[in-house]
Structures are given as C-alpha cells and as structure tokens.
Amino acid sequence: MMLAIGLLMGWTNLVWAEKSADEMIRGTVNEVVAELESRRAELEADRLALYELVDRIVVPRVALDRVSRLILGDYAKSASETQRQRFSESFKDLIMRSYASAMFEYTGEQDMRFGEVSVRGGGRISVVPSELVLSGQQSVQVDYYCLRDADAGWQIYDIQIDGISLIISYRNQYGEFIANNGLDALIESLEKKTAEIN
C-alpha cells in the first residue's frame, strides 16, 4: 500500500514538474474547487477530511522550507535544525487549517483571471499574476511567486495580495515576537493556535 502511494506521489510530482507555474496554480485551484463543490457537506461535517484535502492538494505545491527560512530571516541562521523543523510544521499546520476553514466562503460566484507570467532568476522564478473578481465588490490582485524545484516542479514561495507580501508581513510580525519572547515561544504560540482551530 505504501509503495503504491509512493509511486502515485512520484507520478504526480512528475506531472506537475512538466507544467508551467501558471498551469500549476490553475490546476491546484481547479482541483480544490472541484472537491469542495462535490464534497461540501462531507467536508463541513468532518474537519479532518477537510485538512486531509488541503494537505494532499495544496501543501505539495508550497515550498515550505523556503517559506520558513524567508519568514524567519536572520533568526533561521541561529535556529537549531529542530527549531526550524518545528516552526515549519507549526506554521504549515496553522496556515493550512486557516485556509481550509476559509474555503467554505467560496460560493462559485468568484472568478479568477490570470495575467501574463513573468520569469526571473534565470528561469528559476515565475510570477503568476491573477485577479480575484468578487460579485459586487472591488477585485483583488493576487500574485503568486513560484520557485522551480528539480524534483517537485513549480512550488509557491510567496503570495502578494494587492502588492503586500505575505512573507514580509509574517516576517515583521514574527520577528518582533521572537525579539521579545524567543523562537521557542513563537513555535508554542503557533502550535496552540493550531490546536484551537481543531
């Protein structure tokens, strides 16, 4: 069974490795929306199934190690390997559970439009611009910053919403907390918040 799952994951990564960054984003969004629409009642009743969906579809397309290091900034250099791993895991769990809970706000009336992709860093970085059009509201500009990984294909490492980087926002917020309380205290705080969402 584990071998079959491993082979399937390897095949999935190979498929995504062959796609462009914007195809990866579109495919991920479409996959999440399709499951949400077909399983809404089940997922609303079973949060563990909802988290499994996000872990299965979204998490593999996020460069978690890169994200964690960018958020921790200079603190990543002085952190132990255990601290870095705990931070990465607790941050992932908190963000993904928050994202999963927010998914139910999707009603099918939202429209996502993609712009022209720009490539940087010798082809290793792609910026995928998109516009989230909400019924009766002002549209939201969402830019996905993706990094090419030799094994996993394109992975998201930052998202800018109306020009505001999530990485920088978290770095500023967490950096101040670490300066005042220490990295272990931040990790414990993230773990506590994650438990409260469950």
100-111 as b/e: b if 16+ CB within 10 A: beebeeeeeeee
Bridge partners, residue 158, by sequence: 145
Q: Which two tokens stand for residue 131?
A: 């516009």
CB 146, CB 157: distance < 8 Å:
yes
Report residue 8's pLDDT band, with 50, 70 and 90 as the boundaries.
Answer: very low
How big is the chain, counted in residues?
198
pLDDT surpasses 80 at 10: no
Q: Is the pLDDT of residue 160 over 90?
A: yes
| pLDDT tens digit sequence for 18-69 | 589 999 999 998 898 899 889 989 998 998 899 999 999 999 999 999 999 9
pTM of the model: 0.82
pLDDT number for residue 118: 95
Q: Quick check: 14 pLDDT over 60?
A: no
Predicted pLDDT at 16: 42
Give the pair of three-digit tokens for residue 14.
């190979």
Span 95-123, average pLDDT? 82
> Domain total for the chain?
1
Strands 125-133, 153-161: pairing is: unpaired
- When pLDDT is cut at 50, 70 and 90, the band that residue 197 belongs to is confident
We report the CATH number of the domain holding residue 64 as 3.10.450.710
Per-residue pLDDT of 125-158, as tens digits, reads: 999 999 988 777 788 899 999 999 877 689 999 9
Please tell me the distance from the alpha carbon of residue 86 to that of residue 144, in angstroms, as a whole number: 25
Backbone angles phi and psi of 108, in degrees to 5: 95, -5
Q: What domain range includes position 58?
A: 2-197
What integer pLDDT is reported at residue 11 of this predicted model?
34
**Selected residue with higher pLDDT from 178 and 100:** 178
Q: What is the pLDDT of residues 81-104, one digit of tens each?
A: 999 999 999 999 998 888 887 777
Rg over alpha carbons for the chain, rounded to the nearest Å, is: 17
